[in-house]
Structure 1
Amino acid sequence: MPMSPRLLRPQATGFNPKSLSGLLVWMDASDSSTYTIATGVSEWRDKSGNQRSFIQGVGNNQPIISATKQNGKSLLEFDGGNDKLTAAGNFLQIANCTMVAAYRRTSGAYGGILASSGDSDNSPGILIDTNRGAIRGYINTSLEASGAADAFHIVVGTVTNGATVTYTNGTQISTSVASGTLGTDQTTTSIGTYRQAALNFFAGYLGEILAWNRVLSTTERQTVERWLGKRWGVTVA
């Protein structure tokens, strides 16, 4: 690692999410080596080292690599009608976690960004709820400000035994108290939907998704937010 002659210590060469313990998943739309193209994207592969793959075998239900870019980087585009990618196992059936997404909603009052695939709401997820981003604990959600999801931005949510905190572009926006109990009946995790029987499909662009199996410290969270802000051209507090 290069040395700074003034500080006589290693210079920072870039943050890697894997440097923070407990990384569950890391999906990066800007990395073309992580997806397989069929009609659209038939497989989107995880960069966390946990070898999670989100798959869609039906061509009409596959998101596409969008012609729209963010800060010069590729995005996955979901149509809000039936696009989704699903991974085996619900790794979000945990009491405590941190979830992060860099994204933009284009339409639709409801949708899933990262959530369990079944019909119940009792495990953590990043959602669109009443036209804005939301972090779900077990049942309750904490919402972003109205309209926030319509610009490309970074949302971070923490879940602590069902209670949630939502941050938008580095600023805490809302909280919710714990309610309900953690579900154990969901067997898959999806990108692009939640409560799929209710047709809650996401319409918009996804750049990056990350999750950890613990609540990140303030310093860790801010490091992730600022790193993503620089990558995706978003101003972060």
Structure 2
Amino acid sequence: MLLISNKFTRKGVWSPIRLPESRLWLDARDVSTFTFNSSNISQWIDKTAGRRFQQATSGNQPVYDTTGFNGLPCLSFNGSSQLLRTPAGGPGAIDNANILRNTAQAMAYIVIETGASFSSGRALFISTPTSAIPKLALYSSASGLHSMIGRRLNSDTNQVINTGANTRSLSTKYIQGALVDYSGANAKIRINGSELVSATFQTAGLAADGNPSATSVGAESNGANYFLGKIAEVVVAHTSDLSESQKLEGYLAHKWGMASTLPNDHPYKNLPPL
């Protein structure tokens, strides 16, 4: 039986809020961030700025699974209709303000379990000011490649980066991260604490100075490319520093019972950051 400490829910220990310019933190272990509709979730509240991820239609709401992720709670998405997204708002509205806006660096991490089949479902989707166009999204390709898609400027063309021969397995848990150095025109994909790909990304400069139209989990914000599987945690911050990403990886791995998936030389293989 896997026993996981509750220390990650206590104050005073390292958490994603301590990342430089932490912008988004969705945590399925914090039941206070959920609004329930029976066993469905109609709202999930971000722990950095109170951003609201919502779904009013009952049939399109993800399902709360009390013990679905190594005995811990998570949200289950059906791959066909379920997503949570921030509501539309004017420029500067709290739900969409200052995510990947005018920044030189960014990281985005998700803790997921893949489903029984692959698609191009977006587990995390951050739009440009146009809702259907991704500024950054994390997903797996239809063939199971760990993937990210995005752009620097709103007028740029989407660029896909994936892990080539390093494919996912079905019904398997992963900590998937993307580190984007906009100013250095580079992006990396990290899986379970290991860097699997580093590639040239767009052109060097700051990310576009504009708020996203919407941010969503479980699909694109306009209701396309639905994710099949489970989501336990989502983190976005304006840094691509390796030491900060390793702290986050260690925190997530120990919190969700996944420390065994970290490489032996990872600085937080044996203990989480303090």
TM (normalized to structure 1)? 0.83
> Which structure 2 residues correspond to residues 1-237 of structure 1 after superposition, within 5 A?
14-39=13-38, 40-48=40-48, 50-66=49-65, 68-88=67-87, 89=96, 91-93=99-101, 95=103, 96-106=105-115, 107-116=117-126, 118-121=131-134, 123-130=135-142, 131-138=144-151, 139-144=158-163, 145-148=166-169, 150-161=171-182, 163-179=186-202, 186-194=212-220, 196=222, 199-215=224-240, 217-234=241-258, 235-237=261-263
1:83-121 Cα deviation digits (max 9, x unpaired): 011114262455531001110120232111111353223
Superposed CA RMSD? 2.3
Deviation at 1:69, TM superposition (A): 2.0
* Higher alpha-carbon deviation: 149-158 or 21-30: 149-158
Provide the secondary structure at the position in 2 that maps to 1:69: strand
Check whether the contact 1:133–1:149 (CA below 8 A) recurs between aligned residues.
no
Provide the secondary structure at the position in 1 that maps to 2:69: coil
Deviation at 1:150, TM superposition (A): 4.3
2:162 corresponds to which letter in structure 1?
L
1:61–1:92 CA distance, 2 compared to 1 (3 A): farther
2:92 corresponds to: none
Deviation at 1:219, TM superposition (A): 1.6
Provide the secondary structure at the position in 2 that maps to 1:230: helix
Deviation at 1:236, TM superposition (A): 1.1
1:208 corresponds to which letter in structure 2?
E
Check whether the contact 1:127–1:194 (CA below 8 A) recurs between aligned residues.
no
Q: Percent sequence identity over matched residues?
A: 23
CA distance in 2, matches of 1:225, 1:149: 21
1:188–1:31 CA distance, 2 compared to 1 (3 A): same
Provide the secondary structure at the position in 2 that maps to 1:166: strand
Q: Which runs of 5+ in 1 are unaligned?
A: 1-12
2:146 corresponds to which letter in structure 1?
G
Q: Which runs of 5+ in 2 are unaligned?
A: 1-11, 88-95, 152-157, 264-274
Query: Structure 1 residue runs of 4+, over 6 Å off?
Result: none
TM (normalized to structure 2)? 0.73
Report how many aligned residue pairs link the two structures: 221
1:116–1:149 CA distance, 2 compared to 1 (3 A): farther
1:24-81 Cα deviation digits (max 9, x unpaired): 0110111111101115100001112x11110000111100112552232101001010
1:201–1:93 CA distance, 2 compared to 1 (3 A): farther
CA distance in 2, matches of 1:149, 1:126: 17
CA distance in 2, matches of 1:168, 1:229: 11
Provide the secondary structure at the position in 1 that maps to 2:29: coil
Check whether the contact 1:26–1:209 (CA below 8 A) recurs between aligned residues.
yes
Provide the secondary structure at the position in 2 that maps to 1:82: coil
Provide the secondary structure at the position in 1 that maps to 2:252: helix
Check whether the contact 1:92–1:115 (CA below 8 A) recurs between aligned residues.
no
Check whether the contact 2:215–2:221 (CA below 8 A) recurs between aligned residues.
no
